Amino acid sequence: MDRRIRVLIAKPGLDGHDRGAKVVARALRDAGMEVIYTGLRQTPEMIVSAAIQEDVDAIGLSILSGAHMHYFREVKRLLEEQGASDILLFGGGIIPDEDVPRLKELGVAAVFGPGTSTQDIVDFLKRAVPERWRAQGLA
């Protein structure tokens, strides 16, 4: 399979702590993926429109501010609204365990907390994205 996985890494909201987002972006790139980093302070609208324009397979949101429920819900809603719900949504940051099942219910495919190895995120994408391709008959 030589198709390369395309991932958008985004920092929604007002928070500027981008260490995790950048470390993950770099690790995914080192693992052979194409990575687009949005930069800081993106609205859900900006994130979804960038994801569609860039034709990505997955969106990773990095949120430490406690506003994760709001942003994941908005991004998911907009993806559905724009017929792009096949884009895999995942994320990480400071997200309490209690909220993880609620995020999964929204359709967030994976939530990576502090201390996650970047290899786990790489492995997750290498497994989940081709599954989607197969499901869509693309691979």
Partner 1 sequence: MRKKHDWLRETYQKSLEKMPERPVAHRTLSDIAPDPLYTPEDIGVLDPEYEEKRGYPGEYPYTRGVYGSMYRSKLWTMRMFAGFGTAEQTNERFKKLLKAGQTGLSVAFDLPTLMGYDSDHPLSKGEVGKCGVAVSSLADMEILFEGINLEEVTTSMTINSPANAIWAMYLAVAKKRGHDWKKLGGTIQNDILKEFIAQKEFIFPPEPSVKLVIDTFEWGPKNVPKWNFISVSGYHIREAGSTAVQELAWTLADGFEYVEAALKRGLDVDEFAPRISFFFDVHNDFFEEIAKFRAARRIWAKEMRHRYGAKNPQSWMLRTHAQTAGVSLTAQQPLNNIARVAIQALAAVLGGTNSLHTDAYDEALALPTEESATIALRTQQIIAYESGVTHTIDPLAGSYYVEWLTDEMERQAMAIIEEIRRMGGVVRAIEEGYFLRELAEASYRYQQEVERKERIIVGVNAFTDEIPLKVPIQLVDPEVERVQAERLARVRRERDPKRVEEALAGLRRAAVEGQNTMPHFVECALAYCTLGEMMDVLREVYGTYQEPAYV
Q: Are 34 and 4 in contact (CB under 8 A)?
A: yes
Tell me the closest approach of the beta carbon of residue 89 to partner 1, in angstroms. 17
Tell which phi-psi region holds residue 107, choosing left (phi > 0), alpha (psi between -120 and 50) or beta.
left
The one among 31, 46, 52, 94 contacting partner 1 by CB under 8 A: 94
The one among 69, 84, 100, 109 contacting partner 1 by CB under 8 A: 69
Tell me the closest approach of the beta carbon of residue 81 to partner 1, in angstroms. 18
Tell me the closest approach of the beta carbon of residue 86 to partner 1, in angstroms. 25
Asked if 34 interacts with partner 1 (CB under 8 A), we say no
Which range in 75-83, 93-101, 102-110, 130-138 contacts partner 1 by CB under 8 A? Answer: 93-101
Report the alpha-carbon distance of residue 5 to residue 130 in Å, rounded.
Answer: 8
Report the alpha-carbon distance of residue 126 to residue 131 in Å, rounded.
Answer: 9
SS3 of residue 114 by DSSP: coil
